[in-house]
Amino acid sequence: MVPSATRSRISALKSTSQLCRRTPTPSRQSGTLEGSTFRGNDGEPLPVDLAVGSRVAGLVAGFDRDFGTYAEQLVVPARDTALVPDGLDLVTAPRSRSTAWPQPSSSTCSATAEAGACW
């Protein structure tokens, strides 16, 4: 796992209501949630500046890779993501838009997305 990374689940099969939930997928978590701050098993806040449920966008660059627009899940560095402004919906910000939650064991966070873009 890449340190300080965001795991983005880029799926065209997720509904908006599923995406906006603030509850992480239990099978992928081992820490606890306190409000929107995720804490690891040691109780310390994780070094990810994304609140659970944040709408984020990111770019996965390059061409020589074995995943693309239709990947269901991606891991990208957290520094490569940005919050989607409230005034921008997730259809008009279609590049890897997703919602996020932290991953406790590796300073990462996960996200699901509602749609993919056809390039």
Partner 1 sequence: MTGAAGAVGGYVVPLAQDRGWRVTGLARAEDEKFVRGLGAAFTADAAPGWDAVADGAVLQEQGVALVRDGGLFVGVQPGAAPPEVRGVTVRVVVAQPDGARLAQLLDATASGGLPARVHAVVPLDQVAAAHRAVAKGGVRGKYVLQP
Q: Applying CB under 8 A, which residues contact partner 1?
A: 12-15, 57-61, 63, 76-88, 91-94, 114-119
Q: Find the shortest distance in angstroms from Cβ 46 to partner 1.
A: 17
Considering the complex, state which of residue 19 and residue 52 has its C-beta at the smaller distance from partner 1.
19
Considering the complex, state which of residue 31 and residue 112 has its C-beta at the smaller distance from partner 1.
112
Burial 3-18 (b: 16+ CB within 10 A, else e): ebbbbbbbbeebeeee
Considering the complex, state which of residue 42 and residue 61 has its C-beta at the smaller distance from partner 1.
61
Q: Find the shortest distance in angstroms from Cβ 32 to partner 1.
A: 27
Q: What is the DSSP string of 47-93?
A: S----TTEEEEE----SSSS--TT-S-EEEEGGGEEEPPTTS-TTTS
